Structure 1
Amino acid sequence: MHRFLAVIPLAVSLAVALPAEAHTGVGPTGGFASGFAHPLFGLDHLLAMIAVGVWASLLGGRALWLVPAAFVAVMAVGGGAGMLGVPLPMVELMIGGSVVVLGLLVALGAKPATVVAMAVVGLFALFHGHAHGTEMHEGVNGLTYGLGFVLATALLHAAGIGLGTALGRLPDIAVRAGGGAVAAAGLALMIG
């Protein structure tokens, strides 16, 4: 029963996700609600956030909370940079690449030191945050928008942790296959 409950947030999120439309200039871009919706309605953001949670759960120990916390913290910095108009090259490429790499890390059962895992997710978080932040229009309250995308991201990480915990009870091949599916989806999103 616990495994089933852990999959519900993922299933609902995937059912409402739209392909790669959570980026610059797409959709409503102001306030808490649109900030909250941003990570939920772009399949690349959705897959990456859940993969971070799954990977953190597979790493276990302190990584369970430090890896997602590193992502959220660096994403907020990237969001601020995007809101301020600080340029960052290859944002879309790095977001798509994050889905591929995070999926592969799960598929390969990679278990680096927690600080290395934090650095990996932090690198990708900078680009995810920048994509969120660049959607801000002049006159929009960046704080409420930012709080929305930070909260949604944290909830997706929590869903990933729940999913990873449930998957951890399955044969290792199931976990690896799930990671491989995320990586393949990331490649498909990058190709278009």
Structure 2
Amino acid sequence: MKDSNRLVSTACKLGAAFLILVTFSVSAHAHADAATLAGGFATGFMHPVLGWDHVAAMVAVGLWGAFLGEKAVWTLPVVFPVVMAAGGVLGLLGVPLPFVEEGIALSAIVIGAMIATASRPPLWVAAIIVGAFAIFHGYAHGAELPEAANPLLYTAGFMVATGLLHVGGIVVGLAVRWSTGARIVRGLGVLISLAGVGFLTGAL
């Protein structure tokens, strides 16, 4: 029991450290000279990190993957960026996609609710849910790509940031192996879902 509690505590501390790191990154870059961030890896990296709607959804994907366990812990965090890249192409080409901001907000609401309610659908269903929402996130990134001085570095930046946010969610989500940790993760799902409601209200 002590070992379990220690592992849960460690997972929570790692998650808290990750969230603090993201917060400080947001604070530091929000005041940076726009020219410094213009169009390269840094811009791409900070695009998802500076948007709390993106952060909530991407962390949620990692959390849900860890919650579902087995293949889902790596399948969902792979499906999301792959489909997100396709969405990015749509944004780059200027293909009309309605309700992008609403879709991003709904991703936090739905995936957060899945975590909060301990939903365990078949892996293919979970992958479809995650992939569908990834299109909206990718579109938002891709729509800004024409403004990038270096599109390749910009793309690499937001893909790396997405991966790190997924990893952060997975690290915290590993706590579901223990009853106390599972309650904490489900509580985070509630918070993510409520944050999504706030994002949706702002988008409407």
TM above 0.5: yes
CA pair 15-183 structure 1, distance change in 2 beyond 3 A: farther
In 1: Cα distance, 2:82 partner to 2:38 partner: 21
| Structure whose alpha-carbon radius of gyration is higher | 2
Report the CA distance between 1:94 and its aligned residue.
0.3
1:103-142 alignment, distance < 5 Å: 103-137=112-146, 140-142=149-151
Please, what TM-score do these two structures have when normalized by structure 2?
0.83
**How many Å separate the matches in 2 of 1:17 and 1:168?**
31
Size of the aligned set, in residue pairs, is 185
Amino acid at match of 1:8: A
More helix by share: 2
Residue equivalent to 1:32: 41
Gaps spanning 5+ residues in structure 2: where? 1-8, 31-36
Contact 2:39 2:147 in 1 (8 A): no
> Which residue, out of 4, 7, 10, partners 1:2?
10
**Cα displacement (A) at 1:30:** 1.4
Question: Could you list the per-position Cα deviations for residues 147-175 of structure 1 after superposition, in whole angstroms to 9, with x for gaps in the alignment?
Answer: 11011001100010001013543524332
Distance of 2:190 and 2:20 partners within structure 1: 18
- TM-score if structure 1 supplies the norm length? 0.88
Q: Map Cα deviations across residues 25-78 of structure 1 (whole Å, 9 max, x no partner).
A: xxx551111001111111100010000000000111111111110001000111
Q: Percent identity?
A: 43
Displacement of 1:9 in angstroms is 0.9
Which secondary structure does the structure 2 equivalent of 1:134 belong to?
helix
CA distance in 1, matches of 2:125, 2:162: 21
Q: Which residue is equivalent to 1:81?
A: 90
SS class of match (2:131):
helix
The residue that corresponds to 2:172 in the other structure is 163
User: Aligned equivalents of 2:190 and 2:148: distance in 1?
Assistant: 42
Name stretches of at least 5 consecutive residues in structure 1 with no aligned partner.
Answer: 22-27
What is residue 196 of structure 2 aligned with on the other side?
A: 186
Q: Secondary structure at the match of 1:40?
A: helix
Cα deviation, residue 86, structure 1: 1.4
